[in-house]
Amino acid sequence: MTDDPRPMLHARGVSKFFPGAVALDDVELKLYPGEVHALLGENGAGKSTLIKCLTGVYRRDGGVITLDGADIAPHSTLDSQKLGIGTVYQEVNLLPNLTVAENLFLGRQPTRLGLLARRRMVTEAREVLADYGLDIDPAEPLTSYSVAVQQVVAIARAVEMSGKVLILDEPTASLDRDEVQLLFSVIRTLKARGLAVVFITHFLDQVFDISDRATILRNGRVVGTRLLDGVSQTDIVTLMLGRQLEARVHDRAPRTLGDLLIEVDGLAKSGMLDPASLRIHKGEVVGLAGLLGSGRTETANLIFGAVPADQGRILREGHEIRVTNPREAVAQGFALCPEDRKTDGIVGDLSVRDNIVLALQARQGWWRPIPRAKVTEIAEHYVKALDIRLASLDMPIRLLSGGNQQKALLARWLATAPDFLILDEPTRGIDVGAHAEIIALIESLREQGMALLVASSELEELVAYSTRVIVLRDRRQVSELTGDAISTSNIIHAIADEPIQEAS
């Protein structure tokens, strides 16, 4: 396979710039005929940008892409399909109200005397689908079949139209175990037919199940291409998260824990999180680690009531409390800085002043307005304490930089004097300076006796400030690290589901 001298598709030095950011930097990707090639990386690593450059959604800003030895520069998805690159996305983008056969042949229907040859189309569709191990009636509407079957129909359409390279973008995200196996058998058939298949997923087990090689991206660069035969999941996770396995035991000062504040007992929501339990003391930072989609954010949202849980309970100082929505959580002294600052955090058009005071005002109720002088005092206090850089308190918060927006959101919650602060990716997408300040703030809040729960993909950060780290994988808690066992290497081992080297 890899000794084949000529790759089916070879991308070299591909770069893509967005205003103020480099999305792809000198990326190389080789796809050989008859291989399944996994494309791995955390959110924002550049996977989807690379795919979009290959399929003509974006024009690349630099680099060369050759397909079958010829230079290509697709300028639209249609163009790339014609060249031989087909793509199937997580959400099947077919037409649900048409029949299977119509979906398969849309745009190139067999005709007779200029009229649609419906019967021939159905027969041909049946033949095509038989190659994919599907014995279904192509005259039925697409929606009468399961998502997995629709997925296979989408693949069949892409392969029949293109037939050289097939890109599968998270095809298994909404499939169950048996359906995944159906899909994999189809992929193996295509592999035998000599297609180059690109497989994108967050599920590492599936990567090792079906893929021959993997290219790992991080921050828009290729950090490695590996033959999967010779490597462990730990190696891959290390590459994805970009941490060298370090044996160094983190130096941590003796920390005295306060009283138990929050106890979460079997909190779960089907399809989001298996029953999760955790205890958080005053003066403690509990870290949540795991890959994207492992249940980090889900845990935070369920505890805060942002998404109501199906089962489980939350106790505060030993008493069961009701948290079915954020309002009830805030009343209990909870606070949550959400993962997606823009859509769930800031109220963009309102002033920084109003944004800072919003949660406090919401908790006080509309009939007890905070006097304007007091509002200004609170806002000015936090602008100074957190060093928020702004031209004026009256400017809309959307005009602030990411780091300053995050600080303003922290100010919004600190103004409510919470006992329990949940931070979801508190340092994502912010500049280095603000990054360090937020970490220092987490430390100082812990020293003041606040209980914190921090979900983050930045392992070194988690190791630095957590008193305990809970590791999640596939929507389950798989491990809890305390004391000296907290290290990036142990977290990576736990994420990769391999034995932890140092016992805790």
Partner 1 sequence: MASTTTSTFRRILPQLVILGCALMLNVLVFPDFFRIEFQNGRLFGNLIDVLNRGAPVALLSIGMTLVIATRGIDLSVGAVMAIAGATAASLVVEGHGWVTALLGALAVGAICGAWNGLLVAILRIQPIVATLVLMVAGRGIAQLITEGTILTFLNPGLIRLGAGTIMGVPTPIILWIVLGAFAAFAVRRTALGLLIESIGVNQASSRLAGINARVLLISVYLVSGLCAALAGVIVAADIKGADANNAGLWLELDAILAVVIGGNSLLGGRFSIVASLLGALIIQSVNSVILLSGMPPEFNLVIKALLILAILVIQSPKVGHAVYMLRAAGPKAFDTRPAPAARPQKEQS
**Which residues lie near partner 1 (CB under 8 A)?**
304, 306, 325-327, 329-331, 336, 338, 343-350, 354, 358-359, 361-370, 372, 396, 412
Considering the complex, what minimum distance in angstroms separates the CB of residue 379 from partner 1?
13
Any bridge partners for residue 280, and if so which? 262
Considering the complex, what minimum distance in angstroms separates the CB of residue 344 from partner 1?
5
Look at residue 263 and give its three-state secondary structure.
strand
Q: DSSP letter for 249, please.
A: P
In the bound state with partner 1, the residue whose beta carbon lies nearer, of 108 and 374, is: 374
Ramachandran area for residue 187 (φ above 0: left; ψ -120 to 50: alpha; else beta): alpha
Considering the complex, what minimum distance in angstroms separates the CB of residue 297 from partner 1?
13
Q: DSSP letter for 342, please.
A: I
Q: DSSP letter for 258, please.
A: -
In the bound state with partner 1, the residue whose beta carbon lies nearer, of 58 and 304, is: 304
**Cα 193 from Cα 187, distance rounded (Å):** 10
In the bound state with partner 1, the residue whose beta carbon lies nearer, of 16 and 412, is: 412
Considering the complex, what minimum distance in angstroms separates the CB of residue 349 from partner 1?
5
**Cα 81 from Cα 46, distance rounded (Å):** 22
**Cα 428 from Cα 473, distance rounded (Å):** 20
Considering the complex, what minimum distance in angstroms separates the CB of residue 415 from partner 1?
11
Amino acid making up residue 27 = V
CB atoms within 10 A of CB 407: 28
Structure tokens at 430: 């912010």
* Residue with token string 């660069």: 221
Considering the complex, what minimum distance in angstroms separates the CB of residue 347 from partner 1?
5
Considering the complex, what minimum distance in angstroms separates the CB of residue 412 from partner 1?
7
In the bound state with partner 1, the residue whose beta carbon lies nearer, of 5 and 367, is: 367
What is the number of H-type helices and E-type strands within the chain?
16, 22
In the bound state with partner 1, the residue whose beta carbon lies nearer, of 223 and 362, is: 362
Considering the complex, what minimum distance in angstroms separates the CB of residue 383 from partner 1?
18
Going by C-alpha positions, the residue among 84, 71, 240 that lies closest to residue 165 is 84
In the bound state with partner 1, the residue whose beta carbon lies nearer, of 186 and 452, is: 452
Considering the complex, what minimum distance in angstroms separates the CB of residue 272 from partner 1?
17
In the bound state with partner 1, the residue whose beta carbon lies nearer, of 273 and 300, is: 300
Considering the complex, what minimum distance in angstroms separates the CB of residue 328 from partner 1?
9
Q: What are the distances in angstroms from CA 200 to CA 36, 170, 210, 217, 289?
A: 10, 5, 11, 12, 21
* Contact yes or no for 216/46 (Cβ under 8 A): no
Which ranges in 415-471 belong to alpha helices (H)? Answer: 432-447, 459-465
Amino acid making up residue 22 = V
**Cα 443 from Cα 445, distance rounded (Å):** 6
CB atoms within 10 A of CB 464: 16
In the bound state with partner 1, the residue whose beta carbon lies nearer, of 105 and 334, is: 334
In the bound state with partner 1, the residue whose beta carbon lies nearer, of 241 and 386, is: 386
In the bound state with partner 1, the residue whose beta carbon lies nearer, of 113 and 373, is: 373
Considering the complex, what minimum distance in angstroms separates the CB of residue 334 from partner 1?
9
Q: Residues for the chain: how many in total?
A: 504
**Cα 121 from Cα 196, distance rounded (Å):** 27
Going by C-alpha positions, the residue among 71, 67, 47, 66 that lies closest to residue 58 is 47
Biggest distance spanned by C-alpha atoms of the chain? 85
